[in-house]
Structure 1
Amino acid sequence: MRSKYLMKQSRFFLLMFNMFIAMMGFGLIFPILPDFLKEFNAGGQTAGYLVAAFGLTQFIFSPIAGRMSDKYGRKIMIIVGLLLFAISNFIFALAGHVSLLFISRLIIGIGAAAMIPSMLAYVADITTAENRGKGLSLMAASMSLGFAIGPGFGGFLAEFGLRTPLYVSAVVAAIAVISSMVLLPESLTKEKQLSAKEANRNMESVIIQFGRSIRAPYFILLVLVFSMTFGLANFEAIFPMFVDEKYNYTTREISIMITVGALIGSFIQMTLMGTLFKHFGEKSLINLTLLLSALSLILMLFSGNFYYILVLTVLFFSFTSMMRPAINTLLSKSVGEAEQGFVAGMNNAYMSLGNIFGPAVAGTLYGFSINAPNVFGAAVLVFSLYLSFSGKRSPITISKKLDS
């Protein structure tokens, strides 16, 4: 019995390591991107398109990859995703033309689509309903921690050469591929894979899968995934320019705020989510964090004091860090085992939509007013709160059905 527990623990920690490596590789590009773009005489508009390119392929391939993980297993999709991460960073490091930067980001989007939903489904495979929320919270924490450490790690390695962070990230991702091939067992039984293959959904297009998700009882939860990601991507895309232009912050001050906020958010996910679920429940935690996230975005408009903005940045990251595992837990509980991969894939697809439209809308609105992205992001979160309370298929409705 103890050996089975230890085996599950080792698998889980390997998943967390893989997620951390992937997100760190994604995040380390941010501090070096301005200098990279200068080499190609490109600027902020190109940076926005590069972010959108990642989200575009993530969006297109997430539902497909989620279904493939149900039919062919989680392990192969995780390995493919990590391999694409390594290839993407090598291409970015070797790029001699801006077109290769776009190719790199398109590839890494496919890698994220293959890997992230498969990892979430893997966690659902090896956990019970009682401890699934904690497992998903720890996965979200490893994602947040990788993203938080990535920019600082990239800035440090860039002292040895602008492309050094990318080479190091690619090598580490390649090591993760090998370790997963050797050490990570398949979590989905052959019987369940065969059942998924016989479900007669082999040729479903992305549009058809989105149609199914819209009719599903958990649709509002997927909308909340989109709005949360939209608000977070909206914030991350425009925040450095916003505080630089409005409050004259330095690059170091901006890095400190983002890193501290992401680290504290990761700490909350790793240590407090179980307690928060017990005291508030997933549905109340979602509604509360939607409201407080919107409020923190608005409050950032009223003062340029460094510590004031630092506190609000920490709060915003903390609230979104609580929101993500709460939504993921309700999504996982709302479906049977045979649908875990599909729902995880749709989760990633709606998240990628937020990653596409959040930065694009923020950049467009920023051209009209530097305050507009924060106001619009807050409005999206408040509207999502309204949907959560009033929708017929809201998180509250789902949670009540699950508890009954």
Structure 2
Amino acid sequence: MKKSIKEQKSVLIILLSNLFIAFLGMGLIIPVMPSFMDIMHLSGKTMGYLVAAFAGAQLIMSPFAGRWVDRYGRKKLITAGLFLFAVSELLFGLSTHVWLLYLSRILGGISASFIMPGVTAYVADITTNKERPKAMGYISAAISTGFIIGPGLGGYIAEYGIRMPFYVAAVIAFLACFLSIFILKEPLSKEQLAEIAENKKRTSFVGDLKKSLHPIYFIAFFIVFVLAFGLSAYETVFSLFSDHKFGFTPKDIAMIITISSIFGVIVQVLLFGKMVDLMGEKMLIQSCLIIGGILAIASTLISSFVAVLAVTCFIFLAFDLLRPALTTFLSRTAGKEQGFVAGMNSTYTSLGNIIGPALGGILFDIDIHYPYLFSAVILLFGLVITFKWKGKKLKESVLEN
């Protein structure tokens, strides 16, 4: 029988910490980009490709991870992912050649493809349908905090050395892996895993991909892609944009992102459930896309530190609220197929994380304002797509599952 969130607080803390650490590593590279560009004579395009390499590896491995998490168990995928992540961060810190930086990012992407579906499926296994929105909100808060606070923390730690953030991340990840091995227990029995694995043998990645195109899933998955594209494109060039346009220091950039992160997580944890009850998932998603698009455009028009801080706070908040709304819906519609949904969620996220940074870096080399303007276009296009998402059908699909 599934227990309440309060009764499983220690397990949830470990799971959320693991997810936080993984996405923390994704963000650590952001504040040191200008320094790495100078030291290794890299272009904005190359830096965008580095971020995209992470997402590319995650994209390739996500379909396998989504199936393995149902076949071999949640715990094994989580611990394996943490170990690979620690190795990737250590390698990045030691790298002196560009190809080693790419190798590090690829290993990091593989690790994320293991950790994210493992944690999502684990949480879905141990929570009731009633409490799942709250649990998914916590997951999103952990992801957002890690991905957004990563650059902030990296900026502060970089004061002690440009490579120090990666050494710190490696140590934390090794510690998290060790604790997870001894504290976490597999939520499903061997019999349950065997039954799920047997059902998986009748399917394939191509079949899962086709299944993700079903109207019940596709619009949500497409918005997942839009979210990943918009956030990664925005954040990839944020430090470069702030450095080139305003002359902000790494500490200034770290302060903006840290304050924005804290603001977003507080609102998300305290108000997300109430906002879903008040507005419904569809309206909340549409509101976040509108706010994100408008503020992406506003980012190109402002100039003062306070204005940049205010815009960043609210654009990150929009992303912070958008993610759990989507994840909750997908988890509810998944039923016993949490691995499928988690794997496809990771796949569409990876697509956005590949195209967003790569295109953002290319556009930045042309004009520093273009990445933000293009992000706004993509977010508003996502808004148009949601109008094909009928609220009544959405509600029925959730109730049926």
TM bracket, shorter-chain basis: over 0.9
The alpha-carbon deviation at position 235 of structure 1 amounts to 0.8
The alpha-carbon deviation at position 201 of structure 1 amounts to 3.3
Pairing 1:220–2:216 present: no
**Native 8 Å contact 2:77 2:115 kept in 1:** yes
Deviates more, 1:214-223 or 1:63-72: 214-223
Distance in 2 separating the partners of 1:141 and 1:355: 18
**Native 8 Å contact 1:330 1:399 kept in 2:** no
For 1:76, the equivalent position in structure 2 comes to 76
**Any gaps of 5 or more consecutive residues in structure 2?**
none
**Native 8 Å contact 1:70 1:196 kept in 2:** yes
**Native 8 Å contact 2:70 2:196 kept in 1:** yes
For 1:143, the equivalent position in structure 2 comes to 143
**One-letter code aligned to 1:268:** V
The alpha-carbon deviation at position 364 of structure 1 amounts to 2.3
**Native 8 Å contact 1:220 1:395 kept in 2:** no
**Native 8 Å contact 1:32 1:155 kept in 2:** yes
Distance in 2 separating the partners of 1:373 and 1:30: 15
The alpha-carbon deviation at position 8 of structure 1 amounts to 1.7
The alpha-carbon deviation at position 248 of structure 1 amounts to 4.5
**Among the aligned pairs, what percent are the same residue?**
40
The alpha-carbon deviation at position 245 of structure 1 amounts to 3.8
Tell me the secondary structure at the aligned position of residue 133 of structure 1.
helix
The alpha-carbon deviation at position 251 of structure 1 amounts to 3.8
**One-letter code aligned to 1:113:** S
Calculate the TM-score normalised by the size of structure 2.
Answer: 0.93
For 1:210, the equivalent position in structure 2 comes to 209
For 1:284, the equivalent position in structure 2 comes to 283
Distance in 1 separating the partners of 2:92 and 2:318: 33
Q: How does 1:356-375 map to 2 (within 5 A)?
A: 356-375=354-373
Distance in 2 separating the partners of 1:148 and 1:120: 19
- Say if 1:156 and 1:311 are closer, same or farther in 2 by CA, change over 3 A: closer
- Say if 1:274 and 1:6 are closer, same or farther in 2 by CA, change over 3 A: closer
- Say if 1:233 and 1:130 are closer, same or farther in 2 by CA, change over 3 A: same
**Any gaps of 5 or more consecutive residues in structure 1?**
none
Distance in 2 separating the partners of 1:287 and 1:369: 29
**One-letter code aligned to 2:338:** Q
- Per-residue CA deviations over 1:148-186 (Å, capped at 9, x if unaligned) read 333333333333333332222111111111110100011
Distance in 2 separating the partners of 1:297 and 1:4: 39
- Per-residue CA deviations over 1:327-386 (Å, capped at 9, x if unaligned) read 00000011212x101110110110011110011222222334333222221121111111
- Say if 1:162 and 1:305 are closer, same or farther in 2 by CA, change over 3 A: closer
For 1:352, the equivalent position in structure 2 comes to 350
Pairing 1:268–2:267 present: yes
**One-letter code aligned to 1:8:** Q
The alpha-carbon deviation at position 139 of structure 1 amounts to 1.4
The alpha-carbon deviation at position 270 of structure 1 amounts to 2.0
Distance in 1 separating the partners of 2:80 and 2:176: 11
**Native 8 Å contact 2:73 2:188 kept in 1:** yes
Distance in 2 separating the partners of 1:2 and 1:226: 31
Q: How does 1:3-402 map to 2 (within 5 A)?
A: 8-201=8-201, 204-205=204-205, 207-215=206-214, 217-337=216-336, 339-391=337-389, 397-402=393-398
Distance in 1 separating the partners of 2:307 and 2:156: 27
The alpha-carbon deviation at position 145 of structure 1 amounts to 1.9
- Say if 1:274 and 1:44 are closer, same or farther in 2 by CA, change over 3 A: same
**Native 8 Å contact 1:34 1:43 kept in 2:** no
Tell me the secondary structure at the aligned position of residue 213 of structure 2.
helix
Distance in 2 separating the partners of 1:20 and 1:78: 13
Tell me the secondary structure at the aligned position of residue 185 of structure 1.
coil
Distance in 1 separating the partners of 2:277 and 2:4: 27
The alpha-carbon deviation at position 263 of structure 1 amounts to 2.0
**One-letter code aligned to 1:13:** I
Distance in 1 separating the partners of 2:7 and 2:398: 30
Deviates more, 1:142-151 or 1:53-62: 142-151
Tell me the secondary structure at the aligned position of residue 357 of structure 2.
helix
**One-letter code aligned to 1:204:** S
The alpha-carbon deviation at position 399 of structure 1 amounts to 2.5
Distance in 2 separating the partners of 1:13 and 1:160: 29
Tell me the secondary structure at the aligned position of residue 272 of structure 1.
helix
Calculate the TM-score normalised by the size of structure 1.
Answer: 0.92
Tell me the secondary structure at the aligned position of residue 30 of structure 1.
coil
Distance in 2 separating the partners of 1:96 and 1:360: 22
Tell me the secondary structure at the aligned position of residue 198 of structure 1.
helix
**Native 8 Å contact 2:228 2:349 kept in 1:** yes
Distance in 2 separating the partners of 1:148 and 1:59: 21
The alpha-carbon deviation at position 260 of structure 1 amounts to 1.6
- Say if 1:395 and 1:371 are closer, same or farther in 2 by CA, change over 3 A: farther
- Say if 1:401 and 1:212 are closer, same or farther in 2 by CA, change over 3 A: closer
Deviates more, 1:52-61 or 1:137-146: 137-146
**One-letter code aligned to 1:48:** G
- Say if 1:162 and 1:136 are closer, same or farther in 2 by CA, change over 3 A: same
The alpha-carbon deviation at position 285 of structure 1 amounts to 0.8
**Native 8 Å contact 2:157 2:164 kept in 1:** yes
The alpha-carbon deviation at position 96 of structure 1 amounts to 3.0
Q: State how many pairs are aligned.
A: 400
